[in-house]
Amino acid sequence: MKITKVYVEKYKWPKEKPIANGKHIYTDNELNLLVIETDEGITGYGCSWDISFAERIGQTIIGEDPLNHEKLWEKMYVPKFLGRKGNSLWTISAIDIALWDIKSKICGVPLYKLLGGARESIPYYIAGGYYGPDKGIPELQKEMEQYLSWGAKAVKMKVGALSIKEDIARVKAVREVIGPDIKLMVDANCAYKFFDAIEFAKRAEEYDLFWFEEPISQDDYDGYRKIAAKTCIPIACGENEATRFGYRDLINTQSISYLNPDAECLGGITELIKIASMADANGLVLSPHGQQQVHVILDCALPNVRIAEFYPPQYDAKIYEAWKNPVKLNSDGTVSPNPVPGTGLDINREVLKNYRIK
């Protein structure tokens, strides 16, 4: 089998209402779909954030056998000419995901089984609790109640955009409405400096947080050491870390309890598997970040994943319509991968046809 074509389909559509985390406001949803065509009619799909290097990197693997993912990863990863992280690595990530899509489809085996089949389902948390226009504490509480009505046993909320005092009031209000037995995570999306994060953590400890995610910049490894030394709240981090080398350095801070690798950003599924092994050898567990179509597969494939991230449909209803096989929640607080071969990124183009921009 040979790769004959690599290209991007880009879609963009407005959100019903803008949402915000501790640092960024999102007004649109995007899908950057990386497509690999082969001479045997099997098409692979991957995706990532900006994959504007797709044409350039894609050219280097035309004519190659898509099954040779290790060979192709090494061929694509050329920091000297493309940079070490960021857009070029996002493109490599999307291509690598598409290669695994092809492999799984050729085998006719669901990818979570092909990659190890560690379990059939996994507990999830709902990644919600964003800031939004006209969204106060009562609206936030109502949102959390809705998640509990679905069967959620764990929920996450954003912090970092308001004063620490205001965000602690939000955390308190959420803990009050979800009760003592539901896991609660907070995510600052790198909004704090280390000393702010220590102050937040000290005030938040009484609300029994499951983890404190990305309190500070991904690059401030010393800051993570300082925060971990001052709080009993487990720290989660990794959605902005990349490659096995970056993860080695992050793990070596001995500050992170939960790693949040994102196959779309760190170098694809091939690289995430290596990071999972390294984490396991260091006694750490994963909760992969981002695209749940791909990550619920990895969550159920790999042994040292503890909890899955799940984005609720209200933040992007269109994409749930567009996926041919959207990941769906079980009623018992768990989620299972779709029992079909591939990465789950096949879309119904009819749904998104008015939003294609490339």
Residue 53 or 147 with smaller CB distance to Mg ion: 147
* Contact in structure between 198 and 171 (CB atoms under 8 Å): no
Nearer to Mg ion, 61 or 265 (CB): 265
> Which of 37, 96, 187, 346 touches Mg ion by CB under 5 A?
187
Nearest distance, CB of residue 237 and Mg ion, angstroms: 9
Copy the structure tokens of residue 247: 């993860």
Closest contact distance (angstroms) between CB of 207 and Mg ion is: 18
CB nearer to Mg ion: give 46 or 128.
Answer: 128
CB of 307: closest distance to Mg ion in angstroms?
13
Q: How far apart are CA 238 and CA 124, in angstroms?
A: 18
* Residues linked to residue 123 through DSSP beta bridges, in sequence order: 334
Contact between 37 and Mg ion per CB under 5 A: no
Closer CB to Mg ion, 54 or 154, in the complex: 154
Token pair recorded at residue 132: 């939004």
Nearer to Mg ion, 37 or 316 (CB): 316
Please state the closest distance from residue 150 (CB atom) to Mg ion, in A: 21
Least distance to Mg ion from the beta carbon of 287, Å? Answer: 10
Number of residues that bind Mg ion (CB under 5 A): 1
Whichever of 115 and 209 has its CB closer to Mg ion, that residue is: 209
Among all residues, whose Cβ is closest to Mg ion? 187
Write a three-state SS string for the chain.
Answer: CCEEEEEEEEEEEEEEEEEECCCCEEEEEEEEEEEEEECCCCCEEEEECCCCCHHHHHHCCCCCCCCCHHHHHHHHCCHHHHCCCCHHHHHHHHHHHHHHHHHHHHHCCEHHHHCCCCCCCEEEEEECCCECCCCCHHHHHHHHHHHHHHCCCEEEEECCCCCHHHHHHHHHHHHHHHCCCCEEEEECCCCCCHHHHHHHHHHHHHHCEEEEECCCCCCCHHHHHHHHHHCCCCEEECCCCCHHHHHHHHHHCCCCCEECCCHHHHCCHHHHHHHHHHHHHCCCEECCCCCHHHHHHHHHHCCCECCEEECCHHHCHHHHHHECCCCCECCCCEECCCCCEECCCCECHHHHHHHECC
Residue 265 CB, shortest distance to Mg ion, in Å, is 12
Provide Rg for the chain, Cα atoms. 20
143 versus 187: smaller Cβ distance to Mg ion:
187
Taking CB under 5 A as the binding criterion, the range among 41-49, 187-195, 269-277, 311-319 that sits at the site for Mg ion is 187-195
Rounded least distance, CB 22 to Mg ion, Å: 9
Residues 275-314 that bind Mg ion (CB under 5 A): none
Query: How far is it, in rounded angstroms, from Cα 228 to Cα 258?
Result: 12
- Write each residue from 220 to 259 as x if it is in contact with Mg ion (CB under 5 A), else as -, in one continuous string: ----------------------------------------
x/- letters, 139..178, toward Mg ion (CB under 5 A): ----------------------------------------
Query: 92 vs 157, which CB is nearer to Mg ion?
Result: 157
What is the end-to-end Cα distance of the chain in Å, rounded? 27
Compare residues 214 and 271 and give the one whose CB is closer to Mg ion: 214
CB of 43 to Mg ion, least distance (A): 31
Only segment of 22-30, 185-193, 202-210, 227-235 that touches Mg ion (CB under 5 A): 185-193
Provide the minimum distance between the beta carbon of 60 and Mg ion in the complex, in angstroms, as a whole number: 32
Q: Would you tell me which residues interact with Mg ion (CB under 5 A)?
A: 187
